[in-house]
Amino acid sequence: MENGRATEPMETRLRSRVIAYYNMLHSGCGNAGCTNANCASNPAFSALSSQVALQRAIELVKEDAPLCRVGSPTDPSGLISLVESSPVAVVKEHVQQVFANSRSICESFPRATEALGPVVATFSALQSLNDASVTEALLQRLQRIGSLTADRIDNVTLLAIYIVLQNEMFLDPSSHSVLRTLFDALHTVTRAQREQLERWMSQTSSSDIGRMVAIVQTFISVKWALGPRMDEIGPAARFLGIVYSANVHMGEPVPYTEFHNELVNAELDVKQDFIDWHESDGFCFSRSPYLLNAATKSSLMQFDAMLQMRDQLDEALMRYLFHHSMDGPAPFLILQVRRSDLVADTLHQIQGRNSDDFKKPLKVKFIGEDGIDEGGIQKEFFQLLVKQLFNPAYGMFIVDDETHTYWFNKDSFESKHEYELIGAMLGLAIYNSVILDLHFPLCVYKKLLNSPVSFDDLRSFNPSLHRGLQQLRDFDGDVESVFCLTFSIEYSLFGEVKRVELCPNGQNIPVTKENRERYVELFTEYTLNTSIETQFSAFKYGFEMVCGGAWLHLFRPEELELAICGSPELDFHALEAAAKYENYTRDSPVIVNFWKVVHEMTEEQKRRFLSFCTGSDRVPINGLGSLRVPFIIARNGGDSDRLPTSHTCFNHLLLPAYSTLGKLRERLLTAIQNSEGFGLM
């Protein structure tokens, strides 16, 4: 036993020397002027087969021949060459050297923080070998790296783990026990180390980010399907958060939707996750919002709204039971309005309310009209209010002719209270599951979430202005003499010329090639922020008065727009599955013909149809099958030449019993072509 233990180090050293000589014979040292007669880099060297090279390497060990020291036994390019032409035993030995420990990994890939190409190529070569013994040897080494980490990992281990996480073998669930140890090790990183990881990732390509996303998503999906095993999902989700931050820093070359986990979003118990979010410090998906899609976030928001509404109702009930009194705050937010003075009445009743009032279920009553608000009256109220407030004649917003989006009128004569009303209206719509047919540019939602806006955001609501400023930035000639601009803006208002200086004494500072970037920066700041500060601040105040909860910051700007305005994606099969009928059945010939016509419509015709029936061409965030007011097709007499009609407030289509498919198609298409929908769902 003593002799056995004594010979083990000698055997290891001999194997290492054989590998080193083999690399020199097979791949060379990399020095084009090498004079070593046994080095493949020597111009006079004759190439050897892998078997001959291995035999010659053993002979050179016995001879103690000169060994080129330029090449490294842990050089990944040598490993790739070995995979292509060497025995498996040699490859396995080399793998064990390259991945022996964190330091050898980092030394093998010295430029991994700048480019991951050699790392990816090495793992791809090993995977292509498709040899179980090599794969097992590699995974054993990687398992050891993750398992040996202390409470805090050092920066060498941090880099080593970052390198090995590029291994696409981890897409195979059989390797996930190893992957778990790596995620667990990264769970202890400091803030500085997290930032270091983000910097490394930010130097990579979109394919590198995409690969890391795929590896983590596969792991999370498998662990979710097996349990879910939240103790394993948590560290993986946190690592994905680092990848997400790096992707954002890079300008999002990988779409943010790739970070959504489809399986989790399909099966997550939203209520329990919401409770965990508020009542425990452990992992929950609400703390990793990049994994959740807009529909799931909207469900979290609606659950929050339901809880707050229930609290208000419970308070009113307890007050009645114990004090037999209905005095005090009402359990509902009741708005009683006149159609003739809708804006004034609404504004009057909203002013002075505290934030708790807006968390109550909304009930709308049109003065002088019968009817109980079961959703349809509320929907009509929002429809009429939107139409009036966003009417250009009202003067609160301007409309871009190219994008047809609304922007705040910096010269509006309306008070800030009207803008507060619009903000509150958006919040009330969200809390009461009403989809608004609004056309704001994305930068409005960015500003609501306190996300910075920039020059690129001008394109979303004023493309012509964006193009003009871009031409100024790109111009190669004499900027000052051609454009004749100063650091001021002039525009006409009711026949009077208004001048705004972008900086002190701006009207006397010409725009030149040297300072034009500063001019564009100041122009952008003025357009997106300074010029509308009064109007937007009031709008945001009204919105946050209703929707100031923590859930708001789960959303990205794109997702907040979906929550307020719905999705543009149409699924008419979901609409058909959820439809209800009056004096028709699902199997009635007219209904069969109706859905045949609808499914054959073009995308544009479907949008017109949806607007004709519901008042909007947008879809609830959870799809057409989740309309708050169900879609109803009602029989409207027998065969007739009359066009179909609708009550958009109630998602109600009145359809005559047309005798033929052709007649139904012609009448329905004529109706939707000649209608002009404006409203909400």
pLDDT tens sequence across 66-110: 877 544 445 565 677 667 667 888 888 888 888 989 998 998 888
Distance CA 657, CA 585 (A): 12
Whole-number pLDDT of residue 332: 80
Q: Is residue 585 part of a domain?
A: yes
pLDDT of residue 77: 59
pLDDT of residue 51: 75
Strands 632-635 vs 488-493: parallel, antiparallel or unpaired: unpaired
Give the amino acid at 278. Answer: H
Q: Reply yes or no on whether the pLDDT at 539 is more than 80.
A: yes
We report the CATH number of the domain holding residue 621 as 3.30.2410.10
Q: What is the pLDDT of residues 322-348, one digit of tens each?
A: 665 555 556 788 889 998 899 889 988
Query: Does residue 10 surpass a pLDDT of 70?
Result: no
Residue 314 has pLDDT above 80, yes or no: no
> Do the domain assignments include residue 553?
no
Query: Are 457 and 406 a contacting pair, CB within 8 Å?
Result: no
Q: Check residues 241 and 357 and name the one with the higher pLDDT.
A: 241
List 654's β-bridge partners, or say none: 634, 645
Alpha-carbon separation of residue 504 from 472, 508, 520 (angstroms): 22, 9, 16
pLDDT, residue 463, reads 94
State the Cα–Cα distance between residues 157 and 194, nearest whole angstrom: 13
497: helix, strand or coil: strand
Q: Is the pLDDT of residue 280 over 70?
A: yes
User: Is 648 within the bounds of a domain?
Assistant: yes
* pLDDT of 582 above 70: yes
Among residues 432, 453, 431, the alpha carbon closest in space to that of 440 is found at 453
Per-residue pLDDT band at 162 (split at 50, 70, 90): very high
Report the percent of the chain where pLDDT is more than 70: 89
Beta-strand (E) ranges in 118-162? none
Neighbours of 394 (CB within 10 A): 15
Q: Which two tokens stand for residue 523?
A: 């122009």
Q: What is the mean pLDDT of the chain?
A: 86
Domain range for 649 is 572-673
pLDDT value, residue 431: 81
Tell me how many degrees the CA angle 84-85-89 measures, rounded to the nearest 5.
100
Last residue of a domain, one of 273, 292, 311: 292
pLDDT, tens digit (0-9, with 9 covering 90-100), for 479-497: 999 999 999 999 888 888 8
pLDDT at residue 320, rounded to an integer: 64
pLDDT of residue 149: 63
pTM score:
0.78
Strands (E), 435-563: 488-493, 496-501
Q: What is the pLDDT of residue 15?
A: 67
How many domains, in total, are found in the chain?
3
Mean per-residue pLDDT for 127-151? 84
What average pLDDT does this structure show over 514-526?
97
Does the pLDDT of residue 573 top 80, yes or no?
yes
CA nearest neighbour of 27 among 64, 70, 61, 59 = 70
Of 29, 34, 68, 649, the catalytic one is 649
Q: Provide CB contacts within 8 A for 276, sequence distance 6+.
A: 282, 284, 286
Q: With respect to residue 586, please indicate whether it lies within any of the assigned structural domains.
A: yes
In a domain, 298, yes or no: no
Average pLDDT over residues 368-393: 80
**What pLDDT does residue 8 have?**
40
Flag whether 557 is in a domain. Answer: no
What is the average per-residue pLDDT within 240-249?
97
Q: What is the mean pLDDT of residues 450-461?
A: 93
Is 14 within a domain? yes
State the pLDDT confidence band at 172, using cuts at 50, 70 and 90. Answer: very high
Is 314 inside any structural domain?
no
Active site residue 649: yes
What token pair was written down for 315?
Answer: 């308070």
| Boundary residue ending a domain (257, 292, 327) | 292
In this predicted structure, the answer to whether residue 7 has a pLDDT above a threshold of 50 is: no
Pairing of strands 645-647, 652-655: antiparallel
Cis, peptide link before residue 510, omega less than 30° from 0:
no
Residue where one domain finishes, among candidates 292, 308, 337: 292
Quote the CA–CA distance of 310 and 304 in Å, as a whole number.
10
SS3 510: strand
Least trusted range by pLDDT, from 3-17, 291-305, 384-398, 419-433: 3-17
Higher pLDDT, 95 or 14: 95
